Amino acid sequence: MPNRSPVELGYVGESYVITKLIRDFNIVSVKVPQQFFSYDLVTNNNKRLEVKTAILRKFERKHAKKTYYSEGWEFRRNPKQLRAETSNFVACVCFKSEDVSETPRCFIIPSEELRRHSEVFKITANPKRGERKFWEYEDKWDLIANEVP
């Protein structure tokens, strides 16, 4: 199978999120050619969702005496997406392989949690080893249904 472009992979992720939410919500895509939106989807309860899709990969960290390896997913948000009031949630769709044949892991992270991070953030594949950052948001689809305070 040929490598998927980031755009194609993004469409796969958005389609997966729409499939998960369509039972409970009317979903509107905000894709408009040549126009930038800081979010990808809007629900009928006015939740704005960014959808980020990634393939599992290995990361290398070199220290003076040893090199460490870990697996995980890396996501990138552009500076406009980091501002307040852009989206309510970032739906991170994490596939194990390029063929996207397996059910992905999904993390529904409140955007506010990510504003403290840089443009790039990672979710490790094995939360028992290393960082557990963002694992409390795995499959938290119910957050989208809750009212915004």
pLDDT tens string for the chain (149 positions)? 457 788 888 889 999 999 999 888 888 877 766 667 788 899 988 899 999 999 999 988 888 888 888 899 999 988 778 776 789 999 999 999 888 889 999 999 999 888 877 788 999 887 775 567 899 999 999 999 886 54
With beta carbons less than 8 A apart as the criterion, state whether 13 and 53 touch: yes
Query: What CATH number was assigned to the domain covering residues 6-145?
Result: 3.40.1350.10
Buried-state track 29-49, b at ≥16 Cβ within 10 A, e below 16: eeeeeeeebbbbbbbeeebbb
Whole-prediction pTM value?
0.85
